[in-house]
Amino acid sequence: GTLAEHQRRVTRCRACPRLVAWREQVARERRAAYRDEVYWGRPVPGFGDPAARVLLAGLAPAAHGANRTGRIFTGDRSGDFLFAALHRTGFANQPTSVALDDGLALEDCWITAIVRCAPPANKPTPTERDTCLPWTVAELDLLPRVRTIVCLGGFGWDGTLRLLAARGIPTPRPRPRFGHGVVADVGPYRLLGCFHPSQQNTFTGRLTPAMLDAVLVRARELADG
């Protein structure tokens, strides 16, 4: 299969009953600001450059962000913060991401989420995480140039270790612990920890634009070897 096929197939998944119900309920009820929009309301595929050397692993689509627009991180505050940084550091052709047809393209970077359906309270269950993992295992097989994985938040870090373990790459002992700026070698991959660009972190200054830029620049340096 190809990446495009993977992206199409994942959007038809209905494996998690609770998440299927939630993503569709949010899409039916909508938020007042988006009352007249047609929500995506389905699993959100990965997005970016098929030749990417840098993979960004997020948590899950936001209910009124990617679950509305259909593209990961597109249409919410986390995405505004992330794509602005990707643009400043040369991974994105534009600083904004508002809709599927907005012209955004990434270079040397692919963005995915450990869980592909919007979860209630942004919190998937362990079962939902494990059920979705094979999608990302297959996706990584289709991204042969990826060397560096930027893990957004502890969930992205933990999910990435599980993802690599599922691909036959054992988690080092002791288990590398998530932290902002932490680098860990896991088989042929380099993991790079980064606080998640959620409002809890960006509004409080826990993650600043300069901090995110520095992680992305480091990710490229690590990919360069």
* Closest to 12 (Cα-Cα) out of 50, 37, 45: 45
Q: How far is CA 201 from CA 50, 153, 179, 210, 221, in A?
A: 29, 10, 14, 13, 25
Q: Which does 48 bind (CB under 5 to 8 A by kind): ligand SF4, ligand DU, none?
A: ligand DU
Give min distance, CB of 18 to ligand DU, in A: 30
Lookup result for tokens 């690599």: 164
CB-nearer residue toward ligand SF4: 61 or 197: 61
Q: Which does 13 bind (CB under 5 to 8 A by kind): ligand DU, ligand SF4, none?
A: ligand SF4
132 CB neighbour count, 10 Å cutoff: 25
* Residue least distant from ligand DU (Cβ): 49
Chain residues binding ligand SF4 by CB under 6 A are 10, 13-16, 19-20, 43, 115-117, 128, 131-132, 135
Give min distance, CB of 168 to ligand SF4, in A: 21
Q: Are 76 and 62 in contact (CB under 8 A)?
A: yes
CB-nearer residue toward ligand DU: 37 or 107: 107
* Closest to 107 (Cα-Cα) out of 122, 98, 119, 94: 94
Chain residues binding ligand DU by CB under 6 A are 48-49, 105-107
Q: Which does 200 bind (CB under 5 to 8 A by kind): ligand SF4, ligand DU, none?
A: none
Tokens of residue 5, six digits = 């096929």
CB-nearer residue toward ligand DU: 48 or 79: 48
Cα 101 from Cα 89, distance rounded (Å) = 22
